[in-house]
Amino acid sequence: MSTTERRGLFITLEGPDGSGKSTQMRMLGERLRGEGRAVLESAEPGGTPIGMQVRRILLDPANQELCPTTELLLMFAARAQNVEQWILPALAAGKVVLSDRFTDSTLVYQGAGRGLGPDVVKQIDRIACHGLVPDLTICVDIDTESGLARAHARNLERPGRKESRLDEQAIEFHHKARAAYHRLAEAEPDRVKLVQGDAAPEVVAERVWQHVSSLLRSAAGA
């Protein structure tokens, strides 16, 4: 399956941990379905059943010795499976694909947060994603401390789910990631839209919808 066969739209939701982007993705999916659109929702790291197995390695707090390069390659292993198995076929079928995180997460967390730099991330992206770039990326922004407080509260509510390895990184890691999101939005203003996440979910959803509806209009006119 090649990226040139795509007819659908690819929208990614990004943002710091605890920004509320997953809630926003669910609300957006419902709204799009309500408009009669076929929607595929995915989340990274994970998505496909194989990707979910990779996710367990990545997020298990027991895996403290995971090296930055291993972390990077596992993120892309899950993504490559997701792109081939789910995303490209759905786009070829004309669906709207929503992904909770994609390569921008790797740019900010592994590229900036871990200090691996953007070039290595972009190189592996070319292999794993076959040139697939989102049509629109909504970055739900929140200050690092409030986001992490929400993420930690969520982890406490789910004691059986061992998924906190990355949330538990030092605060500097998360500060670097958030700053990198801001730089990304400045560098690619047509694709990456920053949306303030510090409001009621319905209010944030309306902000998200402004950008999505504008994409849908321009896709319909194209």
What residue ranges bind ligand TYD (CB under 6 A)? 17, 22, 44-45, 59, 75, 101, 105-106, 109-110, 163, 166-167
39-43 and 136-141 beta bridge pairing: unpaired
**Tokens representing residue 221 in the block:** 């006119």
Closer residue to ligand TYD (CB): 37 or 191: 191
Closer residue to ligand TYD (CB): 197 or 216: 197
Least distance in angstroms from the C-beta of 175 to ligand TYD: 14
b/e per residue 157-196 (b: at least 16 CB within 10 A)? eeeeeebbbbbebeeebbbbbbebbeebbeeeeebbbbbe
Question: Could you give the C-alpha distances from 198 to 32, 123, 203, in angstroms and in order?
Answer: 23, 34, 9
Which SS3 state, helix, strand or coil, does residue 188 take? coil
Least distance in angstroms from the C-beta of 86 to ligand TYD: 15
Closer residue to ligand TYD (CB): 87 or 216: 87
Beta bridge partners of 13: 100, 138
Closer residue to ligand TYD (CB): 90 or 105: 105
Q: Specify burial of residue 50 (Cβ count, 10 A radius: 0-12, 13-18, 19+).
A: middle
Least distance in angstroms from the C-beta of 44 to ligand TYD: 4
Least distance in angstroms from the C-beta of 110 to ligand TYD: 6
Closer residue to ligand TYD (CB): 132 or 166: 166
Least distance in angstroms from the C-beta of 8 to ligand TYD: 21
Closer residue to ligand TYD (CB): 50 or 59: 59
**Tokens representing residue 36 in the block:** 């009669």
Least distance in angstroms from the C-beta of 75 to ligand TYD: 4
In sign, the C-alpha dihedral spanning 202, 176, 193, 103 is: negative
CA dist., res. 169 & res. 101, Å (int):
18
